[in-house]
Amino acid sequence: MVNKTVSKKIIKRLKTQYRISTPLRFTNIYQLCVAVVLSAQTTDNQVNKVTPLLFKTYPDFYSLAKAPIKDVENIIKSTGFYHNKAKHIVALARTIVDKFNGVVPHTRQELMSLPGVGRKSANVILAFGFGVPAIPVDTHVARVAYRIGYTDSKKPIAIEMALEENIPQSDWITAHLLFIYHGRAVCSARKPLCSSCPIISYCCFENKNL
Ligand code: SF4
């Protein structure tokens, strides 16, 4: 299992490997909340393709709350699962307007009460919207953390706890991004490129593809 000392070396090594930037494009908390819901089951790039028109048409929670679902569906279609996503983002906007007076709540619990927002999405909003330390566990973070050996559980909540325990809080958001980059570039689901992996010496993955 990875301990704090090894974890520190892993994060340090990954920081030299990847340039940090936020993949989802947004300019305010409204846009972030909507983009996060749209990002379920698709890539951030795909979301970035539809959000310029979506945000031009509906620039805030108030306009989106009144949007006809069909019109929203037409704009976000290419992100997949668009019936549900359209319903979720309009319901989310209505909830923010009606229940929170148009202001996005700052706590994980309140965020998770919003339509279409689970724990991972709430953590993304906390981290990138409010700068609150959090480690959103998506499919890449989960796979990379599990393989490296942060935990022997595949449950996202267990992975999140193990990462929080072994990574200094000041690095939580960065670690989340680094694991995503690493999962995409090297430690892919089907064929991890272990022989060219910069953190192979710290990794517990048993089926190293060497
Ligand atoms: S050694 Fe292989 S399994 Fe481990 S992190 Fe690197 S690519 Fe992933």
User: What is the atom index within ligand 1 of the atom nearest the CA of 204?
Assistant: 4
pLDDT tens-digit map of 74-102: 999 999 999 999 999 999 999 999 999 99
173 and 127 Cβ atoms separated by less than 8 Å: yes
Level-2 CATH architecture, domain 4-20+135-202: Orthogonal Bundle (1.10)
User: What is the atom index within ligand 1 of the atom nearest the CA of 200?
Assistant: 1
Select the CATH number that applies to the domain covering 29-130 from these four: 3.40.50.410, 1.10.340.30, 1.10.10.10, 3.40.50.10470.
1.10.340.30
Q: What is the dihedral sign for C-alpha 12, 17, 20, 22?
A: negative
**What's CA 10's distance to the chain center, in Å?**
20
Active site residues: 120, 138
23 falls in which pLDDT band (50, 70, 90)?
A: confident
57 falls in which pLDDT band (50, 70, 90)?
A: very high
pLDDT tens-digit map of 147-176: 999 999 999 999 999 999 999 999 999 999
Residue type, 64: L
140 C-alpha to ligand 1 centroid (Å):
12
Residues with CB under 6 A from ligand 1: 144, 147-148, 186-187, 192-194, 197, 199-200, 203, 205, 208
Instruction: Give the pLDDT confidence score for residue 126 in this predicted structure.
Output: 98
Average pLDDT over residues 43-56: 97
208 C-alpha to ligand 1 centroid (Å):
7
71 C-alpha to ligand 1 centroid (Å):
43
Domain-wise residue ranges, the chain = 4-20+135-202, 29-130
